[in-house]
Amino acid sequence: MYKIINASKDAYITNKIIGSSIRAKDSNTGGASSLDLFKLYDENTVLGETNPIELSRLLLYFDLASLRALTGSSLDINSSTFSVNLKLHDIYGGQTCPTNFKLAVYPLSKSFDEGIGRDVIEFRDVDVCNFLTASVSSGLSVWNTEGAGAIGTCGSPSIDTIEKANLFDGLGTRFVFTEQTFSKGTEDLDVDVTDIVSGTLAGNLPDCGFLISFSGTMETDTQTRFVKRFASRNTTSVDKRPKLVIKYDDSVIDHSRDFVFNVSGSIFLTNYERGVPANIVSGSAATRLTGLNCGKVRIVSGSYQQTVNFSQHKKGSDFFTTGLYSASFAVSSFDPPLFNYLKNSTSASFDVIWSSNDLTVGFLTGSLMINRSETNFADLDPRRIFINITNMKSTYLSSETIRFKVFVEDLAKPIKFEKLPIENLGIFVEQVYYRVRDLESSKIIIPFDTAGTRVSMDSTTGFFDVDMSSLAVGRNYTFDFQIVKNGATQTINNVAASFRVVE
């Protein structure tokens, strides 16, 4: 899954000196189109201060409700494939910008209100949040230290920003902020915030958002850094708005159509009750089959027989999928009952029997064709691959998550003539990835990604899910695919028709 969550609140807070007389500590920029990060040293004068420092800090909040909902169905935040990156897009417009600096991203300990301020010249718009006040949503909430500057360990009293926390992952109390170095000064911000988001989803960190500032002594030294400017959520360029990019591998690869001797493969069984996924009931006690090694699969052909365990299928490290079971095994072509037969054949057919652990109750009987590996003289030319989405519609609601079905065919494959009609299931390709591209601008919105955009393969077709809330409403999109097979990589653009996302 590749999912994008756009910021639902953002602003920057500042104590900038205005007119050599006052600091704009109560000003608000919640409605501004940019997020401006700067540090000024002794650039202006104000009564009663020597060598004054002026600062800004960024505040961002992302609604994690849609991600939290997935933790009960398909997302395991402990999976090694789960990652979250915070991305802010630079909007350099020829203005002076700093170079060779470092930004730090912290989880906030206190919630903030966005406000509607837009004045980023004289900072006359008074609203919350600002350098003094975080929120008034549920009573007046002021920062414990001006500028959300009270930093400490999660759970400590009177802090605004979290530096350390115990995420209960066995690593104890540790630093949870992350940093990025900018050499040219015009780079985008792209930092890994997986620990922060997973800690928030697990309830080990407060769900208050992020603070971004210059790192460490860069806020207090004698150097001016003006101005690092990012697009805010109010910018008209939708693709440049602040976002969380979530990736995790939820693909399912069923090798039923491409099982190979001497190589481990996986086969799957699904169970439904009245159209709803449900775990299999076994025995008079109506026990549901759950967890690891909850049943047996027998692979039988003539005198050959092998019995292996099957389990409820896992996604990630801990999450079991309701109604989905899998077994992984290899069949040796050198086993005596098979060896002589395969001297004159390139494949063999096996009966596959899914049953209870005591083998007394059968759940499903099917067949499995196992082939020899492809051994040939060097053939490095890319295949003539045709790919199509078979269930494409012209429009989708932003609130929908759509499962697209994928058909893949090798047009160079020899044609076999049959007397009776047969269903063309295409070919099995283990490594297929999709991306989503804006049709008008050709900008890549969801790129090819080995963890987040892999196409699943079941016993009949390929499929993948797209959360339409990741795409901007009112835009037209198209799919491209990348196929890796026999050592060759092919990219196929503009697959199927385009589609539009609507409210």
164-210: pLDDT as tens digits: 999 999 999 999 999 999 999 999 999 999 999 999 999 999 999 99
Please tell me the distance from the alpha carbon of residue 480 to that of residue 396, in angstroms, as a whole number.
18
DSSP 211-280: EEEE-GGGGTSS--EEEEEEE-TTSS-GGGS-EEEEE-----B-GGGSEETTS-EEEEEE-EETTEE-PP
Q: What angle do CA 435, 438, 444 make, to 5 degrees?
A: 45
Residue 314 pairs in a beta bridge with 320
39: three-class secondary structure by DSSP: strand
Residue 269: inside a domain:
yes
Question: What is the torsional sign of CA 380, 264, 251, 355?
Answer: positive
Look up tokens 């997020």; give the residue: 35
Residue 41: inside a domain:
yes
Same domain, 232 and 113: yes
The closest alpha carbon to 161, from 233, 111, 222, 199, belongs to: 111
Same domain, 224 and 261: no
Same domain, 87 and 134: yes
Please tell me the distance from the alpha carbon of residue 481 to that of residue 485, in angstroms, as a whole number.
13
Q: Give the CA radius of gyration of the chain.
A: 28
The domain boundary, picked from 244, 265, 299, lies at 244
Residue 378: inside a domain:
no
Give the pLDDT confidence score for residue 410 in this predicted structure: 84
Q: Which CATH number covers residue 455?
A: 2.60.40.1930
Enumerate residue ranges in the chain where pLDDT < 50: none
Residue 377: inside a domain:
no
Q: Which CATH number covers residue 283?
A: 2.60.40.10
Burial of 405 (0-12, 13-18, 19+ CB in 10 A): middle
Please tell me the distance from the alpha carbon of residue 215 to that of residue 16, in angstroms, as a whole number.
19
Same domain, 139 and 283: no
Residue 390: inside a domain:
yes
* pLDDT tens track for 1-27: 999 999 999 999 999 999 888 999 999
Give the pLDDT confidence score for residue 337 in this predicted structure: 87
Contact (Cβ atoms closer than 8 angstroms) between residue 16 and residue 123: yes
Structural tokens at position 389: 């989405």
Total domains present in the chain? 3
The closest alpha carbon to 6, from 502, 398, 401, belongs to: 398
Indicate left, alpha or beta for 323 from its phi (over 0: left) and psi (-120 to 50: alpha): left
- The 3-state DSSP composition of the chain as helix, strand, coil percent (nearest 5) reads 5, 45, 50
* Cis peptide leading into residue 245 (ω within 30°): no
- Domain of residue 286, residue span: 255-371
Same domain, 159 and 295: no
The domain boundary, picked from 348, 371, 394, lies at 371
Same domain, 102 and 188: yes
Residue 359: inside a domain:
yes
Same domain, 114 and 209: yes
Backbone angles phi, psi at 351, to 5 degrees: -85, 140
Please tell me the distance from the alpha carbon of residue 261 to that of residue 263, in angstroms, as a whole number.
6
Antiparallel, parallel or unpaired: β 151-153 and 161-166: parallel
Residue type, 114: E
DSSP 422-456: --------SEEEEEEEETTT--EEE---TTTSBPE
Give the pLDDT confidence score for residue 381 in this predicted structure: 55
* Cis peptide leading into residue 129 (ω within 30°): yes
Antiparallel, parallel or unpaired: β 225-231 and 210-214: unpaired
Same domain, 309 and 417: no
Same domain, 74 and 192: yes
Label residues 417-445 b or e (16+ Cβ within 10 Å = b). eeeeeeeeebbbbeebbbbbbbeeeeeeb
Say which residues have a Cβ less than 8 Å from residue 396's Cβ, sequence separation at least 6.
402, 468, 499, 500, 501, 502
Residue 139 pairs in a beta bridge with 137
The domain boundary, picked from 371, 404, 419, lies at 371
* pLDDT tens track for 42-67: 999 998 899 999 999 999 999 999 99
Same domain, 137 and 218: yes
Give the pLDDT confidence score for residue 21 in this predicted structure: 85
CA of 487: how far to CAs of 55, 223, 260, 265, 377, in Å?
Answer: 53, 53, 17, 19, 14
Residue 250: inside a domain:
no
Residue 99 burial (CB count, 10 A): 11
Same domain, 217 and 262: no
Residue 81: inside a domain:
yes
CA of 416: how far to CAs of 258, 375, 467, in Å?
Answer: 18, 21, 39
pTM above 0.85, yes or no: yes
Backbone angles phi, psi at 255, to 5 degrees: -90, 15
Same domain, 348 and 472: no
Q: What is the DSSP letter of 176?
A: -
